[in-house]
């Protein structure tokens, strides 16, 4: 994938300054998306841009200026097929991270309850990584891939499903805390009885992973026949007041369809056929009006790595800023 040199310059978009490093992060994430898109074609599944990536494609023809990642989704059947087959098709150097990965070091790389495809640092040492990803220096660039699972029609079943998923995922995240409170065993027993399974308690990493996988399997088992809406159920939160709960919002399956292609920076992404309906459902009727950036997304996502890299440069006797170092690297390697 080629980018014009001006793409990487700091830019004012919609009154928001997009820094040079974020441009590199964008280009690197688009490289991973291109890999994922190719794999989707190879195994016969269709992805759709979702959330901020969908909104960015429609409203900005690219990234929302204050967004820093790429989000895509797959419908239930395609998502399950992707989990099963994609590892066999991903090119060398690209792997799953999180619970769906196949080794403990990658389970720790993503604690969220969905698939993420990343560039693996064991295949891409820093020089090779920067050459491949437009002089972006921060490891494990990736793309989040969310499931669109079915949501039960009955709102009581919706509430039960989401509450149970949230409970299991919270337990997975805070195992030590529940153990200290003396609550862990009772919570695990509850899950085992409901799901008719038995957890491996020998290792906390294994246990946390199995909790997330079990929650995902439970969410994926809702059938189309008992549903009229789809959504990313692992990310729905129980309502603050269940007594006035009127049901979760979601999307109609027919809104996705074959999908259409829209420009996204110097690339194209697949979006739902009826993307207007999806956007109104998620963001309201005024979705084309940019909302002021509030900084609640830990922006930029690489800030912790940036501090460590700055320290590494200093310890190596390099007095350039991180941006200068990457800019020089970019120029020495063709600037693509």
Domain match, 269 and 321 both: yes
Which tens digits make up the pLDDT trace of 70-108? 999 999 999 999 999 999 999 999 999 999 999 999 998
Domain match, 305 and 233 both: no
**What's residue 297's pLDDT?**
62
Domain match, 135 and 266 both: yes
**What's residue 333's pLDDT?**
79
Q: Is the dihedral of CA 230, 234, 238, 239 positive or negative?
A: negative
Domain match, 23 and 87 both: yes
Which tens digits make up the pLDDT trace of 239-278? 999 999 999 999 999 999 999 999 999 999 999 999 999 9
3-state SS assignment for residue 267: strand
Domain match, 282 and 305 both: yes
3-state SS assignment for residue 44: coil
Domain match, 139 and 155 both: no
- The total domain count for the chain is 2
Domain match, 197 and 325 both: no
Instruction: Answer with the one of 228, 249, 270 that is the final residue of a domain.
Output: 249
Domain match, 128 and 30 both: yes
- Rounded Cα distance between 161 and 304, Å, is 35
Instruction: Answer with the one of 218, 249, 280 that is the final residue of a domain.
Output: 249
Question: In terms of Cα–Cα distance, which of 111, 45, 98, 44 is closest to 72?
Answer: 45
Q: Flag residues of the chain having pLDDT under 50.
A: none
Domain match, 324 and 203 both: no
Domain match, 56 and 101 both: yes
3-state SS assignment for residue 18: strand
E strand or H helix that includes residue 180: helix 175-180
Q: What domain range includes position 67?
A: 5-149+254-332
């Amino acid at each position: 994938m080629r980018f014009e040199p001006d793409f990487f310059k700091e830019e004012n978009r919609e009154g928001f300054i997009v820094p040079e490093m974020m441009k590199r992060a964008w280009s690197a994430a688009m490289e991973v998306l291109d890999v994922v898109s190719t794999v989707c074609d190879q195994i016969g599944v269709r992805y759709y841009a979702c959330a901020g990536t969908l909104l960015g494609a429609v409203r900005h023809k690219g990234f929302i200026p204050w967004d820093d990642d790429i989000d895509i989704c797959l419908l239930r059947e395609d998502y399950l097929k992707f989990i099963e087959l994609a590892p066999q098709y991903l090119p060398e150097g690209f792997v799953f991270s999180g619970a769906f990965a196949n080794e403990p070091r990658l389970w720790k790389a993503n604690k969220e309850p969905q698939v993420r495809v990343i560039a693996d640092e064991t295949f891409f040492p820093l020089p090779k990584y920067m050459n491949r990803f437009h002089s972006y220096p921060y490891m494990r660039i990736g793309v989040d891939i969310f499931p669109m699972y079915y949501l039960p029609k009955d709102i009581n079943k919706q509430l039960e499903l989401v509450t149970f998923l949230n409970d299991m995922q919270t337990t997975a995240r805070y195992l030590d805390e529940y153990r200290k409170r003396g609550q862990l065993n009772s919570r695990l027993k509850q899950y085992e009885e409901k799901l008719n399974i038995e957890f491996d308690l020998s290792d906390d990493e294994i246990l946390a992973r199995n909790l997330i996988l079990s929650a995902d399997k439970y969410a994926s088992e809702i059938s189309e026949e008992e549903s009229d809406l789809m959504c990313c159920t692992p990310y729905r939160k129980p309502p603050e007041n269940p007594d006035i709960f009127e049901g979760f919002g979601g999307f109609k399956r027919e809104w996705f369809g074959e999908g259409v292609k829209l420009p996204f920076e110097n690339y194209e992404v697949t979006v739902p056929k009826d993307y207007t309906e999806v956007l109104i459902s998620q963001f309201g009727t005024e979705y084309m009006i940019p909302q002021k950036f509030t900084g609640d997304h830990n922006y930029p996502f690489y800030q912790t790595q940036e501090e460590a890299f700055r320290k590494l440069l200093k310890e190596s006797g390099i007095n350039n800023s991180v941006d200068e170092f990457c800019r020089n690297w970019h120029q020495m390697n063709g600037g693509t």
